[in-house]
Amino acid sequence: MEDIPNRWYYEYIAPDLFLASHLTDILYTGTTRYQRVEIIETSLFGRCLVLDGRTQSSEIDEFIYHETLIHPALIAMREPRTVFIAGGGEGATAREVLSHKTVERVVMVDLDRELVELCQKYLPNHHKGAFEDSRLELIFTDAWKYLEESKEQYDLLVMDIPDPLENGPAYLLFTKEFYKLAKKRIKPGGAMVVQAGPSGPLNYRETLTAVNNTIRCVFGETYPLQSYIPSFGSPWGFVIASSGLPPTDMSAQKVDACIESRLTHNLLYYDGITHQGMFHLPTYVRQGLKTEKRVITKGNPLYAV
């Protein structure tokens, strides 16, 4: 076997394209009850979490993903107080939610206790102490089961779960049946945000357009957005479903004013101008979203390639 300084980490972005990063350390490899876990370090991206062969986040650019996932939805709310997070094992999603001064309670439900413990140990620059915040309640169970049994409603539901891989732990949480349940757990004026997969020209139809169409069937209106994530090798899509103020109605000035008054730490990616750009999707994505007919169900699930 080659020495670490001469090794590379390869990840397929599409069947005929891969991203290679110079590997400087392997911190952990193993399989939990639910998924294969690798925590590696590369020269460009720093420490990275890889689940079932797919990069979930890296130290150098996780802020882009997590700020995009959280702030456009929360900033559009007047005084969000309660947030539910499905997944989010690294703790970075909770970190961004907890940066909002109005937030009083965050329920984070992750199926994989072992994964969360590994992230707490090996990815301190991701969570930055979020797990110690008294407002965070961490529960290890299935998100569907939890929402089905608990009648609590939230201002925001965040679906920060892995891609819908066949036999993976999360594919059923991309279905119409789950979104119907999620809608019941959102307070009037609240919202749900979902990571929805790649939005680049090679693979935007892999999951993004079908996820958006499925959510639209349940909520009636969706607000898809994207940001480019270098460690993913692709622009990445997200979908917001809101029963309150459409996030697209927020002016750059209003976004900046909310950030200034509400957040407890400085942001590196998201601000008013960035907010405007996130929702201005390229033509091919808009056309794909408009013409998509697939609806994801338990009987007809969607699997990422």
CATH superfamily of 62-291: Vaccinia Virus protein VP39 (3.40.50.150)
For 280, other C-beta atoms within 10 Å of its C-beta total 10
160 in active site: yes
Measure Cα distances from 257 to 24, 87, 96, 246, 261 in Å: 41, 30, 17, 17, 6
Please say whether the beta carbons of 125 and 59 come within 8 A.
Answer: yes
106: Cβ contacts below 8 Å, ≥ 6 apart: 82, 83, 84, 85, 94, 97, 98, 133, 135, 136, 137
Phi, psi of 182 (to 5 degrees): -60, -40
User: How many angstroms from the chain centroid is the CA of residue 289?
Assistant: 19
In the CATH hierarchy, which fold is given to the domain comprising 4-58?
Spermidine Synthase; Chain: A, domain 2 (2.30.140)
Integer Cα distance of 84 and 86 in angstroms: 7
Catalytic residue among 112, 155, 160, 163: 160
Integer Cα distance of 83 and 101 in angstroms: 13
HSE-up of residue 19 (Cα within 13 Å, Cβ side): 16
Integer Cα distance of 26 and 85 in angstroms: 28
Strands (E), 141-268: 154-160, 186-198, 223-229, 234-242
Q: Given the structure tokens 């920060």, which residue do they identify?
A: 160
285: Cβ contacts below 8 Å, ≥ 6 apart: 199, 204, 208, 209, 224, 226, 237
| Mode of pairing for the β-strands spanning 105-110 and 82-87 | parallel
Integer Cα distance of 214 and 227 in angstroms: 21
Of residues 188, 198, 200, the one with CA closest to residue 80: 188
Q: Could you tell me the residue ranges of all domains in the chain?
A: 4-58, 62-291
**Per-residue pLDDT tens listing for the chain (305 residues):** 345 567 999 999 888 899 999 999 999 999 999 999 999 999 999 999 999 999 999 999 999 999 999 999 999 999 999 999 999 999 999 999 999 999 999 999 999 999 999 999 999 999 999 999 999 999 999 999 999 999 999 999 999 999 998 888 899 999 999 999 999 999 999 999 999 999 999 999 999 999 999 999 999 999 999 999 999 999 999 999 999 899 999 999 999 999 999 999 999 999 999 999 999 999 999 999 999 999 999 999 999 98
One-letter identity of residue 226: Q
Fold agreement between 4-58 and 62-291: no
Q: Compute the radius of gyration of the chain from its Cα atoms.
A: 18
Integer Cα distance of 237 and 254 in angstroms: 24
